[in-house]
A and B are shown apart, each in its own frame.
Chain A
Amino acid sequence: AQSVTQLDSHVSVSEGTPVLLRCNYSSSYSPSLFWYVQHPNKGLQLLLKYTSAATLVKGINGFEAEFKKSETSFHLTKPSAHMSDAAEYFCVVSDRDVAGNQFYFGTGTSLTVIP
């Protein structure tokens, strides 16, 4: 069975400090992993994706994520938070080898950036 666990429902950081949003997944097959961001009253925007190429994935707006198979993790990081990063972040897993094509969302992490 596939599932995603986002370990923190809320994260608060000061502007200019690093961001770490944690995600663990379970998957029976070779997963594709994604991070999406949702700003208030906006749709879901893709930040980055992992699909079996390099384990360190660079995304938009300075975000990165590292796929660690041994830890079944795909944590999202950014060296220096901006006020504009305040949003809801979703970790998503999709199994590439099964017949279905469902994407599984984590419960989301709300990021607050303090000036």
Chain B
Amino acid sequence: EPEVTQTPSHQVTQMGQEVILRCVPISNHLYFYWYRQILGQKVEFLVSFYNNEISEKSEIFDDQFSVERPDGSNFTLKIRSTKLEDSAMYFCASSPKRGEKLFFGSGTQLSVL
């Protein structure tokens, strides 16, 4: 079965540094998402992306965050200046149709020191 792939699986960074989390969604999917899960907490929605633009974003997704689909294949999440509280598991997901099931990647564990 096709998979969503995320790289790296673990990322350690210093507070204030920029990080880019990379995702390759399933090739014929049209809707893309980022979610995060802080240790011991619920999975939280960050942003959804369709037709080369953000379609929805949560309060968490402030000016420090951005997403991009630079080449029709990758879907990236950038955090401009990381904070300690950004430490979490970040999941990328894609879906072929609106409201259809999400296919999740295995996540990137981000640790901000």
Task: Give chain A's interface residues, CB within 8 Å of chain B.
Answer: 32, 34, 36, 42-46, 49, 51, 90, 92, 94-96, 100-108
Contact = CB atoms under 8 A, between A and B. Distances in A.
A102 B45 contact: yes
A61 to B, nearest CB: 15
A43 B91 contact: yes
B101 A43 contact: no
Given A45-B104, A49-B101, A94-B99, A100 B56 contact: yes
A34 B102 CA distance: 9
A44 B104 contact: yes
B82 to A, nearest CB: 22
A90 B99 contact: no
Size class of the B contact interface (CB-based, 8 Å): 20 to 34
Interface string B5-45: 00000000000000000000000000101010000011111
Contacts of B35: 105
24 contacts: A32-B99, A32-B100, A32-B101, A34-B101, A43-B106, A44-B43, A44-B91, A44-B102, A46-B101, A46-B102, A95-B99, A100-B55, A101-B31, A101-B48, A101-B56, A101-B99, A102-B45, A103-B33, A103-B102, A105-B35, A105-B43, A105-B44, A106-B42, A108-B43
